[in-house]
Amino acid sequence: MDPKAIGIISGKGGVGKTSLTASLASLANKDPDVNAIILDCDVDAPNLALILPAESEDQIQSHDTFTTLKATFLEDKCVQCKQCIEEHFCEFNALKWDEENSVPIIDYLACEGCGACKVLCPEHAFEINAVKSGEIISYQTKIGLPLVYGKTRLGSTTSGKLVSESKEYAKQLKEYNECDLIIIDGPPGIGCPVIATVSGLDYVITITEPTPSGLHDLIRAIEVVQQFDIPFGIVINKADLDSPFQEEFKKYIADTKYRVLGKIPFDLSIPKAMSFAEAVVDHSPDSRASIAIKKIYNTVKNELNN
């Protein structure tokens, strides 16, 4: 039986995806009913490894990925006709003209490897090669669960692909056969890497905070989840934040009738735990935040079983 996969997204960055994922992971680890694998799909800035480091350096596996395509210019084939510029071969502004040397220059970061220059140049002065797009790292965490995360190489333009590859990579782990739950820390935003994270999941947790941008971004994140027709629930972080926006926020959420999985109070135990590279449920198990998160864990478990 395939395991159930849940992802945590938010739209807005910095709302608490990673710290919630770490705590849910720890709770899943302690739960005798559950065998979990953890993924960090925030491939442009993976941070979960800071709270769930490896048990030991020597068992960290690292695997390079080569799914980014980039163009290279073959100067010896170029006849300096400038057709590539004049006829606008590149739609990504990655081809510029070097006046001094009368040759095109490829902007590596902007190049998408689409191959248009290779096909259109009459002298075949461009070629396309696969380059290192990032890496997928996996290890046994110090709390005992396996963790997989992807990290893009700067300029790779293929974050979505790396997310998908990281998800696929987890299936190769020896723990996958016994695994019944996969918990995924998602990226911020609503674009390509978020879409790649969310697609195919069984459940999505959308985490927010009671501020104007927290709400605004939550709505956009939910729109993406609804497009995929995946069941979701909302977690409100810093729920008791003293802000003039609270009334409007509460009313909005209540009017939508979306499922609220739980509310985590504003609690400095969370950043404190993170600074010790621990999940808050481990570092301060009796804190208000931990109590709230434990309730959320049980609620999510019920949602998944139904």
Residues 272-301 within binding reach of another protein (CB under 8 A): 272, 274-275, 277
Cα angle at 234 between 233 and 238, to 5 degrees?
155
- Comparing CB distances to another protein, the nearer of 72 and 243 is 243
Identified binder of another protein from the candidate list 77, 132, 216, 259, rule CB under 8 A: 216
Identified binder of another protein from the candidate list 50, 79, 85, 105, rule CB under 8 A: 50
As beta bridge partners, residue 38 has: 147, 183
Q: 3-state DSSP call for residue 290?
A: helix
Residue 62 buriedness (CB in 10 A; 0-12 / 13-18 / 19+): exposed
Contact call for residue 229 and another protein (CB under 8 A) = yes
Q: How many CB atoms within 10 Å of residue 187?
A: 26
Question: Kind of pairing, strands 4-9 and 181-185?
Answer: parallel
In the complex, least distance from residue 88 CB atom to another protein, rounded to whole angstroms: 9
In the complex, least distance from residue 133 CB atom to another protein, rounded to whole angstroms: 10
Contact call for residue 165 and another protein (CB under 8 A) = yes
CA distance 53 to 268: 22
Identified binder of another protein from the candidate list 21, 157, 284, 287, rule CB under 8 A: 157
Of 89-97, 136-144, 257-265, 280-288, the window that binds another protein (rule: CB under 8 A) is 89-97
The DSSP string of 164-203 is HHHHHHHTTSGGGGG--EEEEEPPSSSSHHHHHHHTT-SE
Give the DSSP H or E segment for 63.
strand 61-65
- Comparing CB distances to another protein, the nearer of 58 and 229 is 229
First-to-last CA distance in the chain? 16
Q: What is the largest CA-CA distance in the chain?
A: 73
Of 44-52, 73-81, 256-264, 287-295, the window that binds another protein (rule: CB under 8 A) is 44-52
Residue 11 buriedness (CB in 10 A; 0-12 / 13-18 / 19+): buried
Structure tokens at 156: 């790779």
Q: Pick out residues in 185-204 that bind another protein (CB under 8 A).
A: 187-196, 198-202
Contact call for residue 303 and another protein (CB under 8 A) = no
- Comparing CB distances to another protein, the nearer of 272 and 295 is 272
Of 27-35, 55-63, 75-83, 164-172, the window that binds another protein (rule: CB under 8 A) is 164-172
CA 146 to each of CA 68, 149, 232: distance values in angstroms, whole numbers, following the listed order = 27, 10, 25
Q: Pick out residues in 92-151 that bind another protein (CB under 8 A).
A: 92-93, 109-110, 112-116, 119-120, 128, 130
Contact call for residue 18 and another protein (CB under 8 A) = yes
**Contact pattern from residue 58 through residue 77 relative to another protein, giving x for each residue in contact according to CB under 8 A and a dash for the rest:** ---------x-x--------
In the complex, least distance from residue 86 CB atom to another protein, rounded to whole angstroms: 13
